[in-house]
Structure 1
């Protein structure tokens, strides 16, 4: 088999391994055991045997490649946009909230068929400006909003930055201040006019209890790129 074919198999096996680990963790949360517990252990064993056959000592050690995580879209009416991308287009709300530093309210929707399901599939991020700022200026310049950025996830931001720079691209606004979210941007002058964000982060998991209405009521806010529930007292 060609080396790139083996590489693809290793990446797919690592992704499947992480999905099984998430499933086993969820089973533990639910009490574990039973037929599903046995099935999870058997799947893990089979993946381990297959990983050995293609030269992977530990499938959990194989990092995933850079992948498109979400498309950012600026909207004028977040509720109407949530109806379109959620109810009408079949998206599932996974996270969202107010980002006070940027002055936006956002929601992330994921869609069936993406790698990894809810946590690993490609998503749409809806961004509604709350006050004057870059997102508000983008909206006003285009009237009805539109695609604002593409976000790619990478397992190693430092290596990604080095590779992009060697490729002649201009990397700007590198930020490693958040514990679990490191990011950089590519200048739109080098990307055919599209803002490209490169981020190193865990997969965006669905937030328990989040709803469109609760996001619109500002019951969630982003802190260090993680959505947190806001207490009633804090919102007064």
Structure 2
């Protein structure tokens, strides 16, 4: 054992897909995932749908918005499937120090946002799994999708991520 645990809470598993509309019949309709968040993140070039299942288990479906996004390149190389696992930690900088002190390589550390500070543990260092470790003061345990929003609204691009919260796109109202 390395001492105190780094993870405060497991949040979700992200699955990369080429088209959310193809994945929704399985993950939402048949498996019964309840919509809790989603929208376009134009900075990352992603469209996401986050679904919740019993016991607060969450799956995030992620689709590239453009053919030149990092996720489009990922899908071209690896195909659809598991992309990453997100866990919340009390302190990203402390997690990076602890991980690297024990020989685990972190990448993509970004602490510039006041509401979402993150780092990743490389798959080559995490037994084939991309781990996203995040510290945030925002609550992510409960649904944050705007009232009345549906998976169809997200697929159609009517919602966007705005300051870490999904919101109606201005021209979609």
> TM tier, shorter chain?
0.7 to 0.9
Q: Which of residues 65, 69, 77 in structure 2 aligns to 1:133?
A: 69
Tell me which of 100, 106, 116 is aligned to 1:165.
Answer: 100
Higher Rg? 1
- Per residue, is there more strand in 1 or in 2? 2
The unaligned stretches of length 5 or more in structure 1 are 1-6, 8-63, 114-120
Task: Say if 1:72 and 1:150, in contact at 8 Å, map to a contact too.
Answer: yes
Alignment pair present for 1:231 and 2:170: yes
CA offsets 1:34-92 (integer angstroms, 9 cap, x no match): xxxxxxxxxxxxxxxxxxxxxxxxxxxxxx95232111101122012122111111111
State the distance in 2 between where 1:173 and 1:82 align. Answer: 29
The answer to which structure has the higher helix fraction is 1
Q: What TM-score comes out, normalization by structure 2 length? A: 0.85
Number of residue pairs matched by the alignment? 164
Question: Structure 2: any 5+ residue segments left out of the alignment?
Answer: none
Which of structures 1 and 2 has the larger relative contact order (alpha carbons within 8 angstroms, sep 6+)? 2
Query: Map of 1:80-119 to 2, 5 A cutoff?
Result: 80-113=22-55
Residue 222 of structure 1 aligns with which residue? 161
Distance 1:214 1:93 in 2: 11
TM-score of the pair, normalised by structure 1? 0.64
Q: How does 1:1-236 map to 2 (within 5 A)?
A: 65-113=7-55, 121-131=56-66, 132-143=68-79, 145-201=80-136, 202-204=138-140, 205-206=142-143, 207-209=145-147, 210-232=149-171
RMSD over aligned CA atoms reads 2.1
* Matching residue of 1:16: none
CA contact (8 A) 1:96 1:106 kept: yes
Q: Deviations over 1:189-235 (max 9, x none)?
A: 20122211101123323123221111122121113432222112xx6
